[in-house]
Amino acid sequence: MKLVDTHAHIDQISNLERVLINSKNVGVESIIAMSINGKSMKETLNIGKKYPNFIYPTFGIHPTEWLSENLTETFLWMKENLHNCIAIGEIGLDYWGKFSKKKDLQEKQREIYTFQLKLAEENDLPVSIHSRGAWNDALKIALKTGIKKAVFHWFTGSIDLAKEIINNGYYISCTPALEYSKELRDVILNIPLDRILIETDSPVYIRSLNRASDPSDVLITAKLLQAIKDNPLEEVITITRKNAYDLFGITK
Ligand SMILES: [Zn+2]
């Protein structure tokens, strides 16, 4: 079994070494390691250097993580270090949380998101997009910037939008939340396996398991996806692995 966790926050995981050994034992072959701000990019990069061909760092400023950031400095650092990452992420928009209800903060989010999409497009890098509560704008802006390679991570928007996403050549990823999230299940039910990636968003708390997740839980995502799609588990894992490596430009 060769699993790819396409979205994990490894800089936030405790007992990382033990977690990574366990993940390898479960069959995890690669982890796409997201960052959320300047500090997280540097930490993720350092961890990635310790685990080449296993942990693949990405650089990005998350839509709710920029208030205390020196954006000029961080964007400059990103540009200078782009050769060390395989994608731009986690970037996007979040109109869901308390933080994001103010119109001026939403405007700033769109500005930061657009800047990072352009940076990715200019450097031919894929992006991992967070779109909670802002599904429409997140897609609209991605299309406007002309970005070609993108995954809408843990997408819980409408089925119509999900179809628009895949018709534009983008992917959608799912997490262990497939167990309880009707929105995520509905999206995944209505799109083909060749547009789907699997992930954990670890260490996010998994409601159905009553604990924090880690990359080994990508096997749970695969099994939940298998139950929805009714393909054999091996096939689900093989197809989603190919999708992940196609998107992130990894050859193995
Ligand atoms: Zn995330």
Average pLDDT over residues 229-236: 95
Type of residue found at 211: R
- The confidence score (pLDDT) of residue 97 equals 83
What CA–CA distance (Å, rounded) separates 232 from 252?
22
Helices (H), the chain: 16-26, 38-50, 71-81, 103-122, 135-145, 159-167, 182-189, 218-229, 233-248
Interstrand relation of 55-59 and 87-92 (parallel, antiparallel or unpaired): parallel
> How far does residue 14's CA lie from ligand 1's centre (Å)?
16
> How far does residue 59's CA lie from ligand 1's centre (Å)?
12
**Tokens describing residue 247:** 């998107």
> How far does residue 232's CA lie from ligand 1's centre (Å)?
28
Confidence category of residue 57, pLDDT binned at 50, 70, 90? very high
> How far does residue 236's CA lie from ligand 1's centre (Å)?
22
Strand, helix or coil for residue 214:
coil
Least confident of 20-24, 115-119, 171-175, 208-212: 208-212
Residue 252 is given by DSSP the state: -
> How far does residue 89's CA lie from ligand 1's centre (Å)?
9
- The confidence score (pLDDT) of residue 82 equals 97
**Tokens describing residue 111:** 């500005």
- The confidence score (pLDDT) of residue 179 equals 94
> How far does residue 202's CA lie from ligand 1's centre (Å)?
7
> How far does residue 42's CA lie from ligand 1's centre (Å)?
16
- The confidence score (pLDDT) of residue 79 equals 97
> How far does residue 41's CA lie from ligand 1's centre (Å)?
13
Least confident of 115-119, 122-126, 189-193, 207-211: 207-211
> How far does residue 151's CA lie from ligand 1's centre (Å)?
12
Beta carbons within 8 Å of 17's beta carbon, 6+ residues apart: none
The pLDDT tens digits of the residues spanning 138-161 come to: 999 999 999 999 999 999 999 999
Beta carbons within 8 Å of 83's beta carbon, 6+ residues apart: none
- The confidence score (pLDDT) of residue 27 equals 98
What CA–CA distance (Å, rounded) separates 173 from 151?
7
Interstrand relation of 28-33 and 150-152 (parallel, antiparallel or unpaired): unpaired
What CA–CA distance (Å, rounded) separates 31 from 186?
26
**Cβ–Cβ under 8 Å, residues 135 and 161:** yes
**Gap between the terminal Cα atoms of the chain:** 14
Percent of the chain scoring above 90 in pLDDT: 94
> Where in the chain are the domains?
3-248
Beta bridge partner(s), residue 198: 174
The pLDDT tens digits of the residues spanning 75-129 come to: 999 999 999 999 999 999 999 987 778 888 999 999 999 999 999 999 999 999 9
Residue 55 has pLDDT above 80, yes or no: yes
Pick the CATH number of 3-248 from 2.40.50.140, 3.20.20.140, 3.40.630.30, 3.40.47.10: 3.20.20.140
- The confidence score (pLDDT) of residue 100 equals 78
> How far does residue 80's CA lie from ligand 1's centre (Å)?
23
> How far does residue 177's CA lie from ligand 1's centre (Å)?
13
Confidence category of residue 244, pLDDT binned at 50, 70, 90? very high
What sign results for the dihedral spanned by CA atoms 213, 218, 220, 226?
positive
> How far does residue 25's CA lie from ligand 1's centre (Å)?
23
Residue 12 has pLDDT above 90, yes or no: yes
What CA–CA distance (Å, rounded) separates 121 from 7?
20
